[in-house]
Structures are given as structure tokens and as C-alpha cells.
Amino acid sequence: MSESVTVADVVTGRRQNTGERIFFWWDRVGILLILVLLMALMTVTAPNFASFDNAMNVLRSISINAILASGMTLVILTAGIDLSVGSTLAVAGCVGVLLHVAGAPMIVAVGGGVLAGALAGAVNGGLSAWLLMPPFIVTLGAMTYLRGIAYTSTGGLPVIADDLSFAALGNSYVWVVPTPVIVMLIVYALIWFLLERTRFGRHVYAVGGNPEAARLAGINVKRVLVLVYTICGATAGLGGIIFAARVMSAQPNGGQSYELDAIAAVVLGGTALSGGRGKIIGTLIGALIIGVLSNGLVLMNVPYFTQLIVKGLVIVAAVALDSVRRLVTNAS
Amino acid sequence: MTEPLLAVENISKRFGATQALAGVQFDILPGEIHALTGENGAGKSTLMKIISGNYAPDTGQIRVNGTPVAFANPSQAKAAGIAIIHQELNTVPELTVAENLALGAEPTKSGVLDRRGMIAAARAKLALVGADIDPATPIGRLSVGLQQMIEIARAISEDAKILVLDEPTAALSQTESQTLFALLHEMRDRGMGLVYISHRMEEVWALADRITVLRDGCVVGTRAKAEVDPSEIVRMMVGREVHDLYLRSERAAGDVRLQVAGLAGAPGIGPVSFDVRAGEVVALVGLIGAGRTEVVRLIYGADKATSGTVTLDGVPLASRRPGRSIGHGVGLLPESRKDQALFLLMSVTDNVVISTLSRWSTAGVLARRALRKAVGALTERLRLKAASNNAEVRSLSGGNQQKVVLARMLAQEPKVLILDEPTRGVDIGAKSEIYRIINDIAKTGTAVLIVSSDLPEALGIADRLLVMRRGLIAAELGAVGATEEQVMEYATGVLSFEGTT
């Protein structure tokens, strides 16, 4: 065992054993390291992986999942979960397209979709905060009824809109960068600011870390929870608008199982499902890992069924890592 | 000379660069209670974990009845007749006493649980500790004191020769502690050797035959109780003279700040009426379960009151909630810092300002420089020892964690400060600093209300004592001139309220 004082000791203010020291660094650079290694591996094995065009492809392909995962990060930081984001995405897309079809201006169509998502989230948050219902159950129900609302709104069929006013949100470029990527980066910058620089951000970590202490410290825990689910719904709504813009239509069956990819990105990014610990930047890296993996496997012509196996195992491995960390840090 | 039951010879243990124990000598004779004392971090727990087989020593030797042993795990230590009682209870509340006693080693008859055998075994074990309890009672319904008896019953097998107890009274009331002490004396008289780990001087003094003091991983000395006085032991613990542990400088009590009238909550709590003046320290004392914590939570608005009023500087505080109370200038340091106060994964800074963020933010955006400066001033004032104010609170010692919560209270600039067991589980050095802080706060005109189970502390720092019994205030005493015996008589109901003047 090393005798010298390490950076990990200084930051945590305590002697670290080897296991703790590994996880100290893992928390800070581990997930980034995996992304870099994965990209190096793909560069060597997958044809055309390392090109600017493909990089933009990967970023565009992850943008919707990453936007869903950004709101999901807030929810998971409070030790909650939102299983309804995939269905929320569908509802918001339908609302946006139907408003457009009804003649609403672009700003109303886009705003309406995002608001619909926020409303769905507020209902989730309200039920779990005020009626003390477990978020898993509340959002499991919402996943089903929101899907039903999406189907009902279009009569079960897609609504094609060739002249969709907000189509640019999904398909255009800002200089050489796809617009959805720009939107994604803005969302991450906002949520980073919210978590790191505002009172609300501190409250989110406090509520997730110790709800009873948060209450006694004067934090309105229920309000924080409602806001967190509302924001998660709004990001899912924004994801739905971009989704609809990409496919130039309202797709009531769109976004199925997207909640799982979003949760996977959050967990891969190092946010603890038990709440109170995690960083928004980790979620972005988590979404990138999923995106690079899918992209590389496609470029390598790996069959789709095998891709599913690989992706699933990567997610399980990431969660296993989190459990091992907890075992190591609690054992001391 | 009698052969020691257990001898620890020249034990050293190192974690990284920290020398947790260095050349420690320690032994236990049959029929003695040997107290192991020292400040937090002195190495008491490490030594216990070596004796119990949780850690292997780097150097040195353990002997049981003169035979060298090397425990690879706790069960080997248990097989050698060493029983350990940990600080926290390890009972499963939903299971019965018998089930808890048999936990992990349930008797079976051809693969099926032998319930009758289990109950019989439980009775035999309960008899060992002289506890008269129905083995079919769910253990969660018993008092903490009785649960601890059952823990002891579980730990000692019929042939246990050595019992090690780590801060066993942390969660016990005074009477429960007395019952425990009687049991420990009885076990000693049966020829067992007991190691009693504690930093509570009164207990060490009441129980021990010999006292060993650890400081910074070394044995400062082992003394027979007959040869020393308590102040010498304290001196050995802290390595310096401790004059006047309790601090109560001359304070002039001003006008009534906090007025509580007819306050009642859950059945059996209240109604209580009292007031606290500016610059006054009032202690709520009584046995565990007397309703002290419940009353202060009602004042703060952590729980809803069913009747009664709370008035601050003449203004009634209606529909009290924690956030509003803080805004009005009422602060509460909760009973359990880990469960009710701290965010262990967050930094010292975040923990200190979490209740007062609005003061350091504009439109919700934090003014981080001003905030850090304010926290720096507070942590300096409280002499907080942390690697930095960015360190996670879980990396701090118990005493320093409590100072973080106190810093949060100071940041609130309270008019009324309620402190629920402010020195529980902190070492003597941190204690004296907390007393200094309380004295300082009171001097600035804050009304301080303290809940304390530590009677010498309450008598030492408060101006007045309110003795609670069964949810009501049984007596009010001036702290100067009151004795522990007097307080206990009111707390246990030996004296009635009418008897006082």
C-alpha cells in the first residue's frame, strides 16, 4: 500500500484504501476512459468510424435519448424514476404536429408539445409527492395511459405533415452541426447550470441524499419533487418535438422503450439510483457510450440481435460496477 | 498473579500512512471490568476489531488463557469465548425475541423449523442475562434497553468468558443504563472478564475496576480505579488539563423570546407551557421517551401540534413548518445528525448553507464567492477540522459533523435555537467546544433550548431545567444548586410537582 498522501485523500479528507482510491478516480474519469477506449476500439475495427461525418451522425443519433436522459438525471438524483418518458415523447410529438395541422404557428406547436410533456411530468410528480405513491408505479401507469392518449389523439394512425413548420429542428444544420445536436448541447448547458449554480440544484441533491434532513432544513421537498418531474416531462416533450421533426409526422407508437435507454445513459454516467449522487455531464457521456456502441456495431455489420446482447450486457456491467463501488466504499 | 483471560501484546495496526495502533498492551483478568477509554479516533474501535477477529494486527500477539491465537474471522473469536456488543442494535424489529436470538442458527427438526426448541433455547439465553421477557414478543415492541439485554444474551454463549461492549449506553436512558450496569456487575462476579469501551467518564468511573486510556493509537496508561481520580483520567485522554468542561458565563436573561402555551401533539405529549428568555439556556431533561424530542419538534413544526400556541417575541407563530420556522428565526438541531440533519455526500459548504441559500442567491442563482466566504468564517469560528470546505461531510469525524450542523444553525442567525442532544456521540474535546459555542450564542441574546440526556451537561450549561415525565413538565429547577439526584427523582416520579418550591 502506498505511504504517500494521494489526491483522493486530500479531496475526501480521509485516508483512502486501494479500492476507495480506484473508485475515487473512477467517479471522475472512469466513464470518460471507457468512452475513449471504446472510440479507440471502434476506430481500429469499424470502417469509417473515425470521420467527421460519422461523428456528427453519432451525435445526431444520440440527441433525442440524451435530451430524455437529461431530465431523467434530475429525477434519479432525487432517488426517483420516470418510466413514462417514451410515452410522453409520443404525446408531445402528436400535440406538436396536430397543432401545426390545425394551423397554429410554429412557436405554439413547439411550445404546446413541450408544455404537454411538462404537464404529464407535473402529474407524475404531484402524485408521488403529495399522495406518497412510489414513482415507479405512478410512472408505470403514466407510461400506459399516455401511450393511450397518443393513439387516441391521432386515431391510432401516424399523421404525416410534409410542410411541418418546425421540421428544421430535426433535419437542418447550424453550419456543419445538426440542429438537434445544438438543441441537446443547450439543454445540457441549462441543466448543468441549474444543478451546479442555483438554489434549486442544491435542493435536488439534498432531497435525493436525505429527504428527512431536507425537510427539517426547511426545504419544500414536495415542491422540489414536482418541479423535477415537470422538468423531466418537459425534456421528454422537447425530445418528442425533435422526434416528430425528424420523421415529419406524428407517430403515436414512437418512443417505445426509450425510457430504458434514457435510464441506461443516466446510470452509465455514474448517477446512483439511490439518489443524491451524480453529475449531468456523466449522463451525456453515458448517452455517448450507448451511441458509439450502436454506431460501431452497425458499421462492423454486427447483426441486430447481437447488438442487443452487447448493449444489454454493457448496461448490466455498468450497474454492477456501481454496486461494487458501494460494497467497497461501505466496507471501510 | 492470575492468568489473564485475554492478553494483547504489543499490537500495532497501520492503515495507509495512519498508525491506528502502536505497541498496544492490554489484558483482561477474570472477574474484572476493564474500561477502555479515549477520545474519538484514539484507536478504541480498531483495538476492538482486532480482538473480535475483524482485523488482523500488523505486529503483536493475542493470547487467550496464555495460548497464542490468530483469529481469521469473527466466528473464530466467538468460538474462543469472546462476545462482542456493538454500539448499534442489530435486531430485526419484526421478528420475535426467540427468532432474534436464534437468527442465523435456527434449530431444525428434519429440515423443519423447531419452534418449541427455539423458544426453549431463548428462555435459557434470557435467563443468562436475568431478563424476564416472553420469547414470543416481537422485539420491536421492547424498549431499547431490553433489546440490548437480548443482544447481550445472543452474544454470550454458555461458555463465553470475555464480553466486549462498545459504547453500549449510547441509546439508553439513565434507568436502562443502571439495569445494564447491574447485569455487567453480576457477570463480573461470575468470573467473566468485561471490556467496557466508552468515553463517558461517569460510566467508566461507575463500572470499571481498571481503566486503560488510549490516545493517538498508544496506551497512555492503565490504572486501577483505586489509584486515580477522574480528572487524571480526563487529563490522560486529552493530553492537557481540562478546566471547567462546562461553560456558563454570566449572562443577563432579557425579555421572553419563546413562549409555549398549552402545546400538545400526539397522544401522551403535552400539554406543556413554558418560556425561554433572550440570553437564557434552558434544558429539557427527563428519561428517554418522556416526550422531550416530541415537544421541540412541535415547536419547530417538524410535527403538527393538535393544540396550543408558540409565540416568538410576542408574535404567535401559526401553522408552523420547518421552512417557515427558519424564516422566523427558530432553528432546530435534530436529535440524529446522520438521519435528520446531514447530507453525507454533499460538501461542508453545501451542508452549512442549505437552509439559508436564499440569502446567498439572486433569482435563484447562487453567489458562490460570498457564500464560500461566509462558510469559511463560520467553520473557522467553530474550529472545524476538515480537509477543506469542499470535502464530503461523510469524511468528517462525529464531532466535526456535529459542528457542521451547528454552523448551519449559526448561519440561520436564530432568535430561538433548539438543540436536541447536541453532544451525543462526540468526544470530550469537541464537547467543550460545543459548550463554548452555545455559551457564545446565548450571550448574543438568542434564547437556547437544549434537550439533553447527559445530566451533568444539562446542570453544567443551562440556567434552568425543565424536567419532563410522561409527556408533561414535572418540575422546573434553577440549574445552580440542583443535583442529579433531584432531577432523577422528578424524572422518575418519585417526587411530585406539588413538592417543589
Using DSSP's 3-state secondary structure scheme, residue B492 falls into helix
One-letter amino acid at B103 equals L
Interface with chain A: mutation pick from B54, B347, B354, highest number of A CBs within 10 Å: B354
Helix ranges restricted to H, B226-284: 230-238
pLDDT band for position B244 (50/70/90)?
A: low
- CA-based angle A88:A93:A98, to the nearest 5? 125
- How many Å apart are CA B66 and CA B411, to the nearest integer? 57
Interface with chain B: mutation pick from A5, A11, A216, highest number of B CBs within 10 Å: A216
Helix ranges restricted to H, B129-213: 144-155, 174-189, 201-207
Name the residue in chain A with its Cα closest to that of B349. Answer: A202
Longest CA–CA span in chain B (Å) reads 76
- How many Å apart are CA A38 and CA A24, to the nearest integer? 21
- How many Å apart are CA A50 and CA A64, to the nearest integer? 22
Quick one: pLDDT at residue A114? 98
Interface with chain B: mutation pick from A1, A7, A10, A14, highest number of B CBs within 10 Å: A14
Nearest CA distance, A76 vs chain B (angstrom): 15
- How many Å apart are CA A74 and CA A67, to the nearest integer? 12
Quick one: pLDDT at residue A21? 67
Quick one: pLDDT at residue A20? 64
Using DSSP's 3-state secondary structure scheme, residue B51 falls into helix
Instruction: State whether B341 and A11 contact (CB < 8 Å).
Output: no
Q: Chain A contacts of B396, Cβ < 8 Å?
A: 13
Residue A272 · residue A278 · CB < 8 Å: yes
Q: What are the Cα distances from residue A159, in Å, to A32, A86, A114, B437?
A: 40, 18, 18, 69
Quick one: pLDDT at residue B216? 79
User: Phi, psi at residue B199, to the nearest 5°?
Assistant: -110, 15
* Least confident segment among A12-16, A54-58, B120-124, B204-208: A12-16
Residues of B with CB under 8 A from a CB of A: 15-18, 300, 302, 322-327, 332, 334, 339-346, 350, 353-355, 357-358, 361, 364-366, 368, 386-388, 390-392, 395-396, 408
Quick one: pLDDT at residue B498? 42
Residue with cell 442489530: B90
Residues of A with CB under 8 A from a CB of B: 1-5, 9-17, 197-200, 202-203, 205-206, 209-210, 212-220, 276-277
Length of chain A in terms of residues written: 332
Q: What are the Cα distances from residue B16, in Å, to A18, A26, B19, B47, B50?
A: 9, 20, 8, 17, 17
Name the residue in chain B with its Cα closest to that of A77. Answer: B345
Segment B42-55 shows an average pLDDT of: 85
One DSSP character per residue, B376-427 reads: HHHHHHTT---S-TTSBGGGS-HHHHHHHHHHHHHHT--SEEEEESTTTT--
Q: Chain B contacts of A10, Cβ < 8 Å?
A: 387-388
End-to-end CA distance of chain B: 56
3-class SS letters over B326-372: HHHCEEEECCCHHHHHCCCCCEHHHHHHCCCHHHHEECCEECHHHHH
Name the residue in chain B with its Cα closest to that of A215. Answer: B322
- Which residues, including other chains, have CB under 8 Å from residue B227's CB and lie 6 or more apart? none
Length of chain B in terms of residues written: 501
Q: Which of A66, A91, A14, A27 is nearest to A270 (CA)?
A: A27
Q: Which three cell numbers stand for residue B27?
A: 489484558
- Which residues, including other chains, have CB under 8 Å from residue B126's CB and lie 6 or more apart? B97, B101, B132, B133, B135, B150, B153
Give me the torsion for CA of B334, B337, B341, B345, rounded to 10°: 180
Q: In terms of pLDDT, which residue wins out, B176 or B401? A: B401
**Domains of chain B by start residue, with CATH:** 6-238 (3.40.50.300), 256-343+412-499 (3.40.50.300)
Minimum-distance CB partner of A12 among B334, B339, B392: B392
Q: Which of A314-328, B142-156, B305-319 is modeled with the greatest confidence?
A: B305-319
- Which residues, including other chains, have CB under 8 Å from residue A322's CB and lie 6 or more apart? A267, A270, A272, A273
- CA-based angle B36:B38:B42, to the nearest 5? 110
Q: Which three cell numbers stand for residue B82?
A: 469472546
Instruction: State whether A212 and B354 contact (CB < 8 Å).
Output: no
Name the residue in chain B with its Cα closest to that of A203. Answer: B354
Instruction: State whether B387 and A13 contact (CB < 8 Å).
Output: yes
Q: Chain B contacts of A5, Cβ < 8 Å?
A: 17
Q: Which of A210, A276, A201, A215 is nearest to B355 (CA)?
A: A215
- How many Å apart are CA B90 and CA B104, to the nearest integer? 13
Residue with cell 418519585: B494
Nearest CA distance, A35 vs chain B (angstrom): 26
Residue B9 · residue B219 · CB < 8 Å: no
- How many Å apart are CA B124 and CA B98, to the nearest integer? 10
Nearest CA distance, B408 vs chain A (angstrom): 9
Residue A170 · residue A191 · CB < 8 Å: no
Quick one: pLDDT at residue A23? 65
Instruction: State whether A199 and B322 contact (CB < 8 Å).
Output: no
Quick one: pLDDT at residue A25? 66
Q: Chain A contacts of B371, Cβ < 8 Å?
A: none
Quick one: pLDDT at residue A11? 54
Q: What are the Cα distances from residue A213, in Å, to A160, A316, B419?
A: 51, 32, 15
Residue A192 · residue A73 · CB < 8 Å: no
Per DSSP bridges, beta strands B472-478 and A159-160 are: unpaired
Question: pLDDT digit string (tens) for A214-224?
Answer: 999 999 999 99
Quick one: pLDDT at residue A10? 54
Q: Chain A contacts of B334, Cβ < 8 Å?
A: 213, 216
Nearest CA distance, B387 vs chain A (angstrom): 4
Question: pLDDT digit string (tens) for B433-446?
Answer: 899 999 999 999 99
CA A322 from centre of chain: 18
Quick one: pLDDT at residue A331? 46
Instruction: State whether B343 and A4 contact (CB < 8 Å).
Output: no
**pLDDT more than 70, % of chain B:** 94
Quick one: pLDDT at residue B323? 94
Q: B215 - beta bridge partners? A: B218
- How many Å apart are CA B145 and CA B420, to the nearest integer? 20
Q: Chain A contacts of B366, Cβ < 8 Å?
A: 197-199, 202
- How many Å apart are CA B243 and CA B282, to the nearest integer? 23
Instruction: State whether A200 and B386 contact (CB < 8 Å).
Output: no
DSSP structural state of residue B241 = -
Name the residue in chain B with its Cα closest to that of A18. Answer: B16
Domains of chain A: which residue ranges? 52-331
Longest CA–CA span in chain A (Å) reads 72
Quick one: pLDDT at residue B227? 87
- How many Å apart are CA B352 and CA B371, to the nearest integer? 10
Instruction: State whether A197 and B327 contact (CB < 8 Å).
Output: no
One DSSP character per residue, A259-296 reads: HHHHHHHHHHTT--TTSS---HHHHHHHHHHHHHHHHH
- Which residues, including other chains, have CB under 8 Å from residue A174's CB and lie 6 or more apart? A182
Give me the torsion for CA of B125, B131, B136, B138, rounded to 10°: -110
- Which residues, including other chains, have CB under 8 Å from residue A75's CB and lie 6 or more apart? A81, A82, A135, A228, A229, A232
- Domain A52-331 classification at class level: mainly alpha
Instruction: State whether B302 and A2 contact (CB < 8 Å).
Output: no
Q: Which three cell numbers stand for residue A307?
A: 447488438
Q: Chain B contacts of A1, Cβ < 8 Å?
A: 16
Name the residue in chain A with its Cα closest to that of B331. Answer: A217
Segment B26-34 shows an average pLDDT of: 92
Q: B283 - beta bridge partners? A: B450, B465
Per DSSP bridges, beta strands B82-85 and B162-166 are: parallel
Quick one: pLDDT at residue B500? 40
Q: Which helix (H) or strand (E) holds B49?
A: helix B44-51
Q: Which three cell numbers stand for residue A155?
A: 386515431
Q: What is the mean pLDDT of each run of 10 residues along chain A (332 residues)?
A: 51 57 66 87 89 94 97 97 98 97 96 98 97 96 97 95 92 94 98 96 97 96 98 98 96 94 92 91 94 92 91 81 69 44
Question: pLDDT digit string (tens) for B352-364?
Answer: 999 999 999 999 9
Nearest CA distance, B332 vs chain A (angstrom): 8
Q: Chain A contacts of B328, Cβ < 8 Å?
A: none
Helix ranges restricted to H, A155-256: 168-171, 179-197, 199-209, 211-216, 221-247
The number of CA neighbours under 13 Å toward the Cβ of B363 is: 0
